[in-house]
Amino acid sequence: EAQVTQNPRYLITVTGKKLTVTCSQNMNHEYMSWYRQDPGLGLRQIYYSMNVEVTDKGDVPEGYKVSRKEKRNFPLILESPSPNQTSLYFCASSPQGTAQKFYGYTFGSGTRLTVV
């Protein structure tokens, strides 16, 4: 089954303790992206990647890091989490170029992160 898999689904952590949220896709998509969803703010892009070793900042990159060493994986790293990073996070992938316009993004099921 074609899918985007995020882990963990739920995570409660303490301020300052480094964490990684994993994202993996099995559709051979070039493009991958991370979003956070907050009440009243919709989906805001954190980082995206056009292909392996190519990453770029989205709208709200502060406090986050990403890496794209393999095509299928795109982990989101919070080096020193803070309470304002409490949110619902989504990973997404899509084909590159014009194919993206027609097929849109495939999203993972989300990771609910709470930083206390």
Partner 1 sequence: DQQVKQNSPSLSVQEGRISILNCDYTNSMFDYFLWYKKYPAEGPTFLISISSIKDKNEDGRFTVFLNKSAKHLSLHIVPSQPGDSAVYFCAASEYSGNTPLVFGKGTRLSVIA
Binding residues for partner 1, rule: CB under 8 A, are 4, 33, 35, 40-43, 45, 48, 50, 58, 90, 92, 96-110
Beta carbon nearer to partner 1, 26 or 82:
26
Q: Least separation, in Å, of the C-beta of 76 and partner 1?
A: 15
Identify the CA nearest to 45 among candidates 33, 53, 63: 33
Tell me the two tokens of residue 77: 């790293």
Q: Least separation, in Å, of the C-beta of 30 and partner 1?
A: 10
Distance, CA of 41 to CA of 49 (rounded, Å): 23
Distance, CA of 90 to CA of 34 (rounded, Å): 6
Beta carbon nearer to partner 1, 20 or 109:
109
Distance, CA of 107 to CA of 6 (rounded, Å): 9
Beta carbon nearer to partner 1, 14 or 54:
54
